[in-house]
Amino acid sequence: MIDAAIRNIAAIGYEAATISTICEEAGFSRGLIGHYFSGKDALLLEAVQTVAHELGEAIRTATQNAGADPAARLHALIEASFTPPGFTPEKVAVWVSLTGSARWSPPLTEIYVQIWRDYREGVGRLFERASKQAGVELDSKLTAVTFSHLVEGLWVGWATDPNSVTPELAQTSCHNFVDTVLRRAPVSAL
């Protein structure tokens, strides 16, 4: 059901998705979905949590595989943020739906705030360690906020205009941000 909701939101958008269209996508009766979820918002909440979990797992795996160097871990996080399995058209569409709807839904706001709080804290710790290693002074919390919204903005940009904001451009932008903040030679532009 969650996968069907993700596909349906990606295909027609959150506002157009209904319990009926999700049921049709899933091949389930309305009653079955109604048995598990109180409505479309509850299903979106579950879809968002699923997307966040899958992206989080992809990022954790990539950063762990990058070794102990915090700058390398930041660059691995970037790669994982713009490649499958965490970054797919369907998952980006669900995230964009969350960002567009959270303001008017307290449960969505709560999920959004928690996801970004955890993300920024982890990214902030990486920036703090990387800046110490590079001998650079920076405000790791401010840098983490800037970086997290750069990533999210590029996701929204790709969802809206994939010809202009490609995954490669997004990665290069984020790599350049990290390298500039840490005063390393940035990656060349695309």
What are the tens digits of pLDDT across the range 38-78? 877 788 778 888 888 888 899 999 999 999 999 999 999 99
Percent of the chain with pLDDT over 90: 52
- Cα separation, 68 vs 14, in Å, equals 40
Please say whether the structural domain 45-181 has been given the CATH code 2.60.120.620.
no
Radius of gyration of the chain measured on its C-alpha atoms: 18
Residue of higher predicted confidence among 44 and 162: 162
What the block records as the tokens of 33 is: 């979905």
Q: How far apart are CA 177 and CA 107, in angstroms?
A: 32
Highest mean pLDDT among 84-88, 148-152, 183-187: 148-152
Return d(Cα 63, Cα 57) in angstroms, integer: 10
Q: How confident is the model at residue 187 (pLDDT cuts 50, 70, 90)?
A: low
Supply the pLDDT for residue 141.
95
Average pLDDT over residues 150-159: 95
Residue with the bigger pLDDT between 172 and 114: it is 172
Q: Where are the alpha helices (DSSP H) in 27-105?
A: 30-36, 40-65, 70-81, 89-101
- Whether 129 shows a pLDDT value over 70: the answer reads yes
pLDDT at residue 188 in the model: 59
The H or E element spanning position 173 is: helix 167-181
Q: Mean pLDDT, to the nearest integer, of 164-176?
A: 97
> What ranges do the domains of the chain cover?
45-181
Q: Which helix (H) or strand (E) element contains residue 176?
A: helix 167-181
Distances (CA, A) of 154 to 45, 104, 160, 166: 22, 23, 10, 9
Closest CA to 133 of 55, 68, 48: 68
What whole-number distance in Å separates Cα of residue 74 and Cα of residue 152? Answer: 15
